[in-house]
Chain A
Amino acid sequence: MTRAELRVDLQRLRENVRAVRERMAPAEVLVVIKDDAYAQGVEPIVAAALDAGAVWFGGIDLESAIRAKRTAGDRARVLCWMTLSAEEARLGVAEGIELGVGDADYLERAATAPSSATLHLKIDTGLHRNGVRPEAWASFCARAAELERAGRIRTAGIWTHIAEASDAEDDASRAAFDRAVDAARDAGLAPETRHLAASAAAWHRPEFRYDLVRIGAFCYGIRSEDGPEIDGTAPVSSLVAPVVSVGGDVEIAIGAVDGFPSALGGRVRVGTPAGPRALTRVEPFTSRVEAWPGAAIGDEVILFGPGTRGEPTPTDLGEAIGTVGEEPLLRVSPLLPRVYVG
């Protein structure tokens, strides 16, 4: 090999998705494919997840949602939860995307699509990002019911995001969610899909699963920061760079402008043909690794992966520099090729 690549193991993904679906049953699993399926490529990821039985996909950005829907066709439903402009919302509806709506103005924009928009209404249960605040929820639902009677929208779901700050605070959010579902029904809406939990809460707390759980990280084998390994899953992606020169140390063809954080230098060990070796320095275009006997140009060094070849996992890397495992994965430059195996 002559340049760095992100190697994505689709068989590993299928196994992860099966393990997650088994754990969550009878709740359904929405496989989160936002941001180009966590920078791993929407189309191959969606195709492999369909093989593993996935029937829901979703994410925040409209582009990833549309690409997922075009890949899955009638085999899966796709939800987009960005607060979109009216033009984007119409485009999404035309593509068969369901919209997550947590804002009164956005509800009006979503209702302007030529065909009826299928919506998931979002209550803010404490995260205070998007979502309608509880004191505004009754009038929001009343307006949604009015638009539904006029044939402009259909309310398929009620949902929220929780903070995962503590069990007690998450319980309070769940109680607020239950009240919001009741209020929506009182307003005349008939949502059939309630969803609240993402990876960690869904995995560890069955009462948070409701009808659907939204799982990104665990499908990709990324455990929570400072969290336990997740049975039956392992990281899907490996970041691999070739050796480009050998001297007192070994130079590899990946650097900080490829999205490999410079702060990792001196903080982690990476996987070499001779086992784990210290990553000593990350420069803009290349990085330095402690030498090993017989190191040769073209040898593969693994910067992150499932951990089977002496390399750290994405979450191990994140923890070394105070962040989550998703960030080192999502920073991997789109200029590096994605290579699919399995």
Chain B
Amino acid sequence: MSDPILGMSMPRARVSRSALERNIARALRAAPGASIDLRRDACGHGAPLVAAAARAAGVTCAIAEEHVDGYELVCSASPALPLEAVFGLEGRGEPAMTLVAPVLQVKPLYAGDGVSYGYRHRADRDTRVALVSGGYAQGVARAIGSSASVMLAGTEAPIVGRVAMDVCVVDIGDLGVEVGDEAQFFGAGRPEMLRAWAHATGWTEIELAAVVGLRVPREETA
């Protein structure tokens, strides 16, 4: 089903072509002649887009599971550009993928109220919370609850309580947040956000980004 209406309440991953091009050009200077690794749909970033960005940056060969237009498959002896450098992870380059999700609901939370499964979080003061789309079914790792933040209204706002399968709860205090506003989980301009996910889970940034990119609707940006 490709009906665009279906995706309105879901998180989405934006992949920046220009960030990919800059990352790949930089990585290529350090490893001239290296190939681009397009396996697993370019780690969830979209193989056609990553292939095009690599071509623009001067890469001439690829490691791929299927034939990609304009590439010859290289033998395994040929080194690939490091995944982290290509996708802007682990402090290398700039994040190519940005995960955003709509605010579904805004409501008050009073001092002493628990939040989400197991009541792992309790409000220590009267506040407001936003229900944000995105949970571990979309690759938002369950362990980041009460550990990481999202960007909302230009401010970092903490995820409180357990991340559920499809939603999480964000403490927004007095921020001017409305239903339909977009929360940023990680990505453009904020490499530290995915680093916080890696810290909370003990997983790598590449697998965290890849599973998100494979799970949610993806769109290309400049």
A interface residues with partner B (beta carbon < 8 Å): 34-35, 38-39, 60-63, 66-67, 82-85, 87-88, 91, 102-103, 105-106, 124, 126-130, 133, 163-165, 169, 256-259, 261-263, 284-285, 321-324, 326-327, 330-331, 333-335
Q: With A331-B139, A335-B40 known to touch, is A130 a contact of B204 (CB < 8 Å)?
A: no
Using CB atoms, name the residue of chain B closest to A132: B107
B interface residues with partner A (beta carbon < 8 Å): 1, 3, 5-6, 8-10, 39-41, 43-44, 83, 104-105, 107-109, 113-119, 129, 131, 133, 136-137, 139, 141-143, 161, 164-167, 169, 179-180, 201-204, 206-207, 210-211, 214-215
Using CB atoms, name the residue of chain B closest to A331: B211
Q: What distance in Å separates the Cβ of B31 from its nearest Cβ neighbour in chain A? A: 17
CB distance A128 to B114 under 8 Å? yes
Q: What distance in Å separates the Cβ of A100 from its nearest Cβ neighbour in chain B? A: 12
CB distance A334 to B137 under 8 Å? no
CB distance A88 to B8 under 8 Å? yes
Q: Which of B165, B169, B179 contacts A326 (CB 8 A)?
A: B165
List 10 interface pairs A-B (beta carbons < 8 Å), by A numbering: A35-B166, A87-B5, A87-B8, A88-B6, A106-B105, A127-B117, A129-B131, A261-B201, A261-B203, A284-B43
Q: Which of B105, B141, B161 contacts A83 (CB 8 A)?
A: B105
CB distance A39 to B137 under 8 Å? yes
- List chain B residues, Cβ under 8 A from A91: 3, 5-6
What is the CA–CA distance of A169 and B18 in the complex, to the nearest angstrom?
A: 51
- List chain B residues, Cβ under 8 A from A105: 179
What is the CA–CA distance of A91 and B200 in the complex, to the nearest angstrom?
A: 38
CB distance B204 to A256 under 8 Å? yes
What is the CA–CA distance of A130 and B115 in the complex, to the nearest angstrom?
A: 11
Q: With A34-B165, A85-B9, A127-B116 known to touch, is A257 a contact of B108 (CB < 8 Å)?
A: no
Residue among A124, A133, A263, A331 with max Cβ neighbours from chain B (10 Å): A331
Q: With A66-B1, A261-B203, A330-B137 known to touch, is A128 a contact of B143 (CB < 8 Å)?
A: no
CB distance A322 to B83 under 8 Å? no
- List chain B residues, Cβ under 8 A from A323: 136, 142-143
CB distance A62 to B83 under 8 Å? no
Q: What distance in Å separates the Cβ of B125 from its nearest Cβ neighbour in chain A? A: 14
What is the CA–CA distance of A87 and B139 in the complex, to the nearest angstrom?
A: 26
